[in-house]
Amino acid sequence: MTWHTKTLTELSNAIAARETTSRELAEHFIARVEAFDGELNTFVTRTFDAALAAADAADARRAAGESLGPLDGLPFAHKDIFCTKGVKTTCGSKMLDNFISPYDATVVEKLQAAGMVCLGKTNMDEFAMGSSNETSYYGDVKNPWNTSKVPGGSSGGSASAVGARLVPATTGTDTGGSIRQPAAFCGITGIKPTYGRVSRYGMIAFASSLDQAGVFATTAEDAALMLQAMSGFDERDSTSIERPVDDLVTGLGESLAGKTIGLPKQFFADGLEPEVKDAVDAAINEYKNLGAEVKEIDLPNIGLSVPVYYVVAPAEASANLSRFDGVRYGHRCDNPEDLTDLYKRTRAEGFGDEVKRRIMMGTYALSSGYYDAYYIKAQKIRRLIRDDFLKAFEEVDLIAGPTTPGLPFGLGEQTDDPVTMYLNDIFTIGVNLAGLPGMSIPVGEASGLPIGLQLVGKHFGEAELLNAAHQYQQVTDWHKAIPAAFQ
Amino acid sequence: MSLDIDAVKNIAHLARIDVSEKDLETYTKDLSNILDMVDQMNAVDVTGVEPLSNALDATQRLRADVVTETNKREALQANAPATEDGVFLVPRVIE
């Protein structure tokens, strides 16, 4: 059977109609991982025995008439940034190569409670710092559309695995574009909800004022189903928002007639590759056919997103990653002379280059004499960027534009200069600084590589955002394309 | 803004990361390039603008001062590189 060509929703319906079982689906997708992952390197840890046991339990519940709901028994994988009790949780780092989490992240608990069957943990840029999945201690992940290209990052393993249909859905996290950019590069649907909508408890911290968990799937409908189960207030995350979760699924199907989509003029300026611009323009035309109105908007400070981010994110990272000291968990150097030597050599050995670079950048930005010039200044401009978005949303319901400035680039092509790599996230970073929900959906291809459209919603506008993506997917087929090598 | 090697040496010390003499040069170049990019912020007048630390203007929530966690010392220390009698071991700090 070709179960891997089906969506989560279709698989859920097939289980309910007794056309298949959770066991059969788990075995099918396990066989896919075994057949193809040697080439793609999307999994860091495989938990197949536990998955089969969970699948059998789901089948037993269904036989007893006690199904947990639409996600019960469906296979997926977690980004290796989420703590999983009794299972190695590495965050893509040598520092945590030996770390067995003593507890589950809230997201892990919630998807378990929904009955989902986890096949393993996916590869990622080290501590989620990267845009190409080339900073992982566990090696590069390959793009399923062309294995000489990067899958994007930091959630590269999660995106590539869904792109190749090794699993129908995965979790991810997005601090500056780490769900949307790899979703665009791998030709799939990815959503990062509003900051604070999904609990960060047990999600290894990178930049706490920006980090947010989300979903990769092949359709907006599937993403809605899974995000619904992941969202909600959690008292164990001090930045979790105390607000009921909207119904993300039943609102799918609303007409876009009368809706206004804003196009930031800064997102269509020089530097955008022509193939990307053409595909995005065509997608916007499709939205006009769906009844939406389109108008140009101005985000005057958005051009400063990258500089602001590369102060704020490293500053927060330098504080968060100070916990890796070789004392309580993780890597520890051999034969330390004294406490300072223990810290310094443990961190020199345990962290990779990009992580060290960002910790040092953040340390500098927070150091005495530079704090006001860098960190405080960046936070002030962050307000201007956020306020530009809020002002734009007084006139429009959604914002659309390209997810990335170009097509997926080659492995090793951008590793020489960090700043060149940072500019990959030029369209996505502002959304994190403003705390808004954002998505990427596939809307075209060039040279056999996929192109993503970014959609941005109002704070807590996930339902409207997912519906806009869903409406597009009702009248187009880009989301159904599967790379030839993985059909 | 450019950093020199001594400045980067000091930053590495503050960050408690051992950096070899050979790597210092690369980090100096990379960090200087990043700071050049960050210096685009200088073009903006932020007079009268308040810093934004939470995009939703949320504030820290308080909870009742009651015990919410049980003792899980053994489970939490299972990942520690060196422990003895329930305490974490580090190199001698006080002579």
Catalytic residue selected from A6, A79, A149, A259: A79
User: In this prediction, what percent of chain A has a pLDDT beyond 70?
Assistant: 100
Q: Which residues contact B44 (CB under 8 A, 6 or more apart)?
A: A301, A304, A381, A384
E-assigned strands of A218-287?
260-264
Flag whether residue B22 sits within 8 Å of chain A, measured between CB atoms.
no
The full set of domains in chain B, from first to last, is 5-43 (1.10.20)
Is the preceding peptide bond at A154 cis, omega within 30 degrees of 0?
yes
- pLDDT tens column, A285-301: 999 999 999 999 999 99
- pLDDT tens column, A345-388: 999 999 999 999 999 999 999 999 999 999 999 999 999 999 99
Angle between helix A353-366 and A339-350 (nearest 10): 130
The amino acid sitting at B75 is: A
- pLDDT tens column, A91-147: 999 999 999 999 999 999 999 999 999 999 999 999 999 999 999 999 999 999 999
Helix then strand then coil, in percent of chain A rounded to 5, is: 45, 15, 40
Two tokens at A93? 């780092």
What's CA B68's distance to the chain center, in Å?
A: 28
pLDDT on residue A309: 98
Flag whether residue B55 sits within 8 Å of chain A, measured between CB atoms.
yes
Mean pLDDT of A142-167: 98
Inter-chain touch A348–B19, beta carbons under 8 Å: yes
Inter-chain touch A332–B33, beta carbons under 8 Å: no
For residue A441, what is the enclosing H or E element? strand A438-446
Inter-chain touch A359–B17, beta carbons under 8 Å: yes
pLDDT on residue B1: 72
Contact A360, B31 (CB under 8 A): yes
State the burial class of residue A24 (Cβ atoms within 10 Å of its Cβ: 0-12, 13-18, 19+): middle
What's CA A476's distance to the chain center, in Å?
A: 23
Mean pLDDT of B9-32: 97
| Residue (of A210, A249, A204, A209) closest to A229 by Cα position | A249
Two tokens at A232? 């909600």
For residue A482, what is the enclosing H or E element? none
Two tokens at A361? 């950048």
Which chain B residues are closer than 8 Å to A379 by Cβ? Answer: 51-53
Residue A214 has pLDDT above 80, yes or no: yes
**Domain regions of chain A by residue span:** 3-259+438-486
What's the CA gap between A439 and A191, in Å, rounded?
4
Two tokens at B12? 């590495």
Catalytic residue selected from A132, A154, A158, A199: A154
Q: Active site includes A209? A: no
- pLDDT tens column, A316-344: 999 999 999 999 999 999 999 999 999 99
pLDDT on residue A270: 78
Q: Kindly indicate the confidence band of residue A271, based on its pLDDT and cuts at 50, 70 and 90.
A: confident
Contact A303, B30 (CB under 8 A): no
The mean pLDDT of chain B is 94
Q: Active site includes A149? A: no
Catalytic residue selected from A178, A199, A240, A440: A178
Residue with tokens 């590793």: A415
What's the CA gap between A81 and A173, in Å, rounded?
8
Residue B2 has pLDDT above 90, yes or no: no
Q: Kindly indicate the confidence band of residue B94, based on its pLDDT and cuts at 50, 70 and 90.
A: confident
Q: Active site includes A377? A: no
Q: What angle do CA A385, A380, A368 make, to 5 degrees?
A: 140
Which chain B residues are closer than 8 Å to A348 by Cβ? Answer: 17-19
Distance set, CA B39 to CA A209, A358, A363, A378 (Å):
22, 16, 17, 10
Residue A222 Cα, gap to closest chain B Cα (Å): 27
Is the preceding peptide bond at A209 cis, omega within 30 degrees of 0?
no
Smallest Cβ–Cβ distance between A328 and the set B38, B75, B88 belongs to B88
Q: What are residue A449's DSSP bridge partners? A: A446
E-assigned strands of A342-427?
398-402
What's the CA gap between A201 and A162, in Å, rounded?
25
Residue A1 has pLDDT above 90, yes or no: no
Two tokens at A314? 């490293």
pLDDT on residue A269: 87
pLDDT on residue B63: 87
Q: Kindly indicate the confidence band of residue A221, based on its pLDDT and cuts at 50, 70 and 90.
A: very high
pLDDT on residue B29: 96
Most confident stretch, A40-54, A415-429, B52-66: A40-54
Superfamily of segment(s) A3-259+438-486: Amidase signature (AS) domain (3.90.1300.10)
Distance set, CA A89 to CA A23, A66, A104, A168, A420 (Å):
25, 31, 10, 22, 30
Mean pLDDT of A13-25: 98
pLDDT on residue A191: 98
Phi, psi for residue A480 in degrees, rounded to 5: -90, -10
Which chain B residues are closer than 8 Å to A100 by Cβ? Answer: 78-79
For residue A438, what is the enclosing H or E element? strand A438-446
The mean pLDDT of chain A is 97
Flag whether residue B92 sits within 8 Å of chain A, measured between CB atoms.
yes
- DSSP-derived secondary structure for A65-130: T----TTTT-EEEEETTB--TTSB--TT-GGGTT-B-SS--HHHHHHHHTT-EEEEEE--SGGG--
Mean pLDDT of A457-482: 98
Q: What is the ipTM of this complex?
A: 0.96
pTM score, whole prediction: 0.98
- pLDDT tens column, B43-89: 999 999 999 999 999 988 888 999 988 999 999 999 999 999 999 99
Contact A323, A343 (CB under 8 A): no
Site from A299, A323, A380, A416 to mutate, B interface, most B CB atoms within 10 angstroms: A380
Secondary structure class of A431 (helix, strand, coil): helix
Residue A458 has pLDDT above 90, yes or no: yes
Residue in chain A nearest B23 by alpha carbon: A353
Contact A9, A219 (CB under 8 A): yes
User: In this prediction, what percent of chain B has a pLDDT beyond 70?
Assistant: 100
pLDDT on residue A251: 87
What's CA A270's distance to the chain center, in Å?
A: 27
| Residue (of A170, A168, A119) closest to A7 by Cα position | A168
Residue B93 has pLDDT above 90, yes or no: no
Q: Where are the alpha helices (DSSP H) in A376-442?
A: 377-392, 418-422, 429-433
pLDDT on residue B77: 96
The amino acid sitting at A413 is: E
The DSSP output letter for B39 is: G
Residue B95 has pLDDT above 80, yes or no: no
E-assigned strands of A154-210?
169-173, 189-192
Residue A422 Cα, gap to closest chain B Cα (Å): 9
User: In this prediction, what percent of chain A has a pLDDT beyond 90?
Assistant: 98
